[in-house]
Chain A
Amino acid sequence: MKVSLFITCLCDTLTPDVGKDTVQLLERFGCEVDFPAGQTCCGQPAYNSGYVQESKQAMKQMIRAFESSEYVVGPSGSCVHMMKEYPKVLRDEPKWQARAEELVGKTYELTQFLVEVLDVKDVGSTFKGTATYHPSCHMTRLLGVTDAPRILLDHVKGLEIIDLPLKEDCCGFGGTFAVKNAAVSEQMVHEKAEHIGETKAEYLIGGDMGCLMNMGGRMRRNDQDVKVLHIAQVLNSQ
């Protein structure tokens, strides 16, 4: 099965290890992974800020980049959900909308792809420790991927998952919100960091780098000793 990796701009620049683990994980299950070098950013920073015309340019670039892909898989619920919105955003340009529809039909978030397409529940990984899992908002509410990450994590040997209090609450990232509404974002991420602390877990696991970067950044500022991992890193751990 041929899979094109949609790395997301955050992972590309800030956390390339997440990309490496994603590639290895997919290869372990027999996927032939390629990386279309034309890909950039999904357009969300502009789209969610109201700069729709600007976001369309990013979207078109992504549509072109993945045009010949069989499957597109990304380690982010949020960025993948943005792609799912392309046809709606490009509704006034029927040709682009049709190309966007095609992209939507073959695009998956990583855990969703593993569970729904590859039909995997146990990736065969071992990871010793206690962790809490943050179900990011866009992954769960907007993309509708709720069970896949937990199914996969529950099968990781040695890993104990502790429930996060008020886990459904947003961490305060919200893309440009974190900067535009920095004061509110701070309060939100502070409460989230407290809840993570209450679990006494050694690790925080999530499926979206933006949220993890937000919570991790706050916990580092708070001197909280919790290690932050993307789910791909845990699932690729042997």
Chain B
Amino acid sequence: MSIKIGTKTYADRIQDGIDNTFMRQAVSSAQGRFRTGRLSAAEELGDWEEWRTLGSEIRQHTMENLDYYLHQLSEQVEKRGGTVFFAKTAEEANEYVQKIAREKEAKKIVKSKSMVTEEIGLNEALQESGCEVVESDLGEWILQLDEDPPSHIVTPALHKNREQIRKTFVEKKGYTGSDQPEELAAFAREQLRKDFLSADIGVTGCNFAVAESGAVTLVTNEGNARMVTALPDTQISVMGMERIVPTWQDLEVVVSLLTRAAVGQKLTSYITALTGTKLEGEVDGPEDFHLVVVDNGRSKILGTEFQSALHCIRCAACINVCPVYRHVGGHSYGSIYPGPIGAVLTPLLDGYEDHKDLPYASTLCGACTEACPVKIPLHEQLIRHREIIIEREHMGSKAEAVMMKGYAKWASHSAAYKLSTKMAHTALSPWTTDDYIEKGPGPLKGWTDSRDFPAPAKQSFRSWYKQREKRRSNE
């Protein structure tokens, strides 16, 4: 996999999403749970706005000094017996992990949930080099069995119900039980246990690396990440280069924001900090530890007006409040990063060519900006993307460009504007019945396909006002 998923056009993906009524039910009920959870967890913490400010300041400070903290992190990791590899591209990252797998003669690799490994397509790369790769996060495991991409960055299998999951287990793993969640989960545990015990390498993502100590922290609810990191002798953690905090104190702030904003939890069941290899005198830890720091387009964002997009802590709060995501689901975005943050990040990481429709997949209602725990001005960044798409990339349609030129003339010449207010009623009268237009011409069609449009008034406000003034001056 890579950032881009599927080959369908934006319009087709959107229609698929709209037609998938089960998925939409699942999304709207999940959104309901997440929203209520987030709001009550925020309230419970108290001073939520101050926490947000603090979180935003920590992220901003870190991004402004990213080179310093990455250097500190790599020194600390190496001091504790680990090896750090900075990968400029997805390919470099994958080749590095493949190389380790070869060196270790690894046959089986277990993984915990990681969006960055989805982004770089690590699973496919490892499979190509002959390894069996097993996802151990329940949601990711289901998706892996089904060869389906994630539709949400925190709960990747949000779009599937338990009957669909049961079916997948039956077909792919010979499951014979019911669709009860407990039974399904117990089956997955039993299956995965064998993989944990027989894996040669454990691969994790990284919620945040702590620069001052070289620790990689993982925020999970299932405990699978602990199995991934405790059993195999070789551990590889892959992180996006922005996923770092300076100190443990900073970690407390961003993790508190993350778990509360994501699922409304004070803390998740497990927050794991892994620091290097088993050193002399220590009883546990991996023999080998590698940290792969992935750039893959991120450093291009540094120093630009989009830098704050790198502040993202991947909580999905913006996705959980997005009214567009609600109706189209994650796959409609055509990116492994869906929702508002996906619409901002995807074109930055993967270019406008394949993703020029994403910044327009928003009503600019601002719900995302309001929900973001680190105050990324998401809707403003979407507007800026649109400006770039039109004015720098020239990707707008010709018809629209002509219309907008006309708009500018109309809106900057009051005489032309005034004339249009006078003419509008008559001009649209062929389509008007009972003061409404039910089947509109030209651009109005998009509107009237699903709702009626009020016909322009016989007399515009400005004409009424002028008459009134005249009357008054004659009185």
Contact = CB atoms under 8 A, between A and B. Distances in A.
Interface of A: 7, 9, 11-17, 19-20, 23, 35, 37-41, 43, 45-55, 57-58, 60-61, 65, 137-138, 141-142, 168-170, 172-175, 177-191, 213-214, 216-218, 220-221
Contact of A220 (B388, B389, B452): B452
27 contacts: A13-B421, A16-B464, A35-B462, A37-B418, A40-B413, A40-B417, A41-B407, A46-B407, A47-B383, A49-B400, A50-B385, A50-B391, A51-B404, A55-B408, A57-B409, A141-B370, A170-B323, A170-B367, A172-B323, A177-B364, A182-B446, A182-B447, A182-B449, A184-B14, A186-B450, A217-B452, A221-B451
Given A45-B407, A187-B18, A188-B324, A12 B460 contact: yes
Contacts of A41: 407, 410-411, 417
A25 to B, nearest CB: 14
Interface in B441-475: 443-444, 446-447, 449-457, 459-462, 464-466
Contacts of A174: 362-365
Interface residues of B, number: 67
B450 A185 contact: yes
A191 to B, nearest CB: 8
A50 B451 CA distance: 26
Contact of B369 (A7, A49, A141, A221): A141
With most chain B CB atoms within 10 A of its CB, the pick from A23, A60, A182 is A182
Given A38-B414, A221-B452, A51 B390 contact: yes
B406 to A, nearest CB: 9
B459 A16 contact: yes
Contacts of A23: 465
Nearest to A182: B446
Given A13-B457, A213-B453, A217-B454, 17 more contacts: A13-B456, A14-B454, A35-B465, A37-B462, A40-B413, A46-B407, A48-B383, A49-B386, A51-B401, A52-B390, A57-B408, A65-B414, A137-B365, A137-B366, A138-B365, A141-B370, A213-B454
Given A7-B461, A138-B366, A50 B387 contact: yes
A41 B362 CA distance: 22
A105 to B, nearest CB: 21
Contacts of B401: 51
A12 B447 contact: no
Contact of A180 (B408, B412, B446): B446
Contact of B327 (A57, A184, A213): A184
A168 to B, nearest CB: 7
B378 to A, nearest CB: 12
B415 to A, nearest CB: 10
A49 B418 CA distance: 24
A13 to B, nearest CB: 5
Nearest to A53: B391
Contacts of A182: 446-447, 449-450
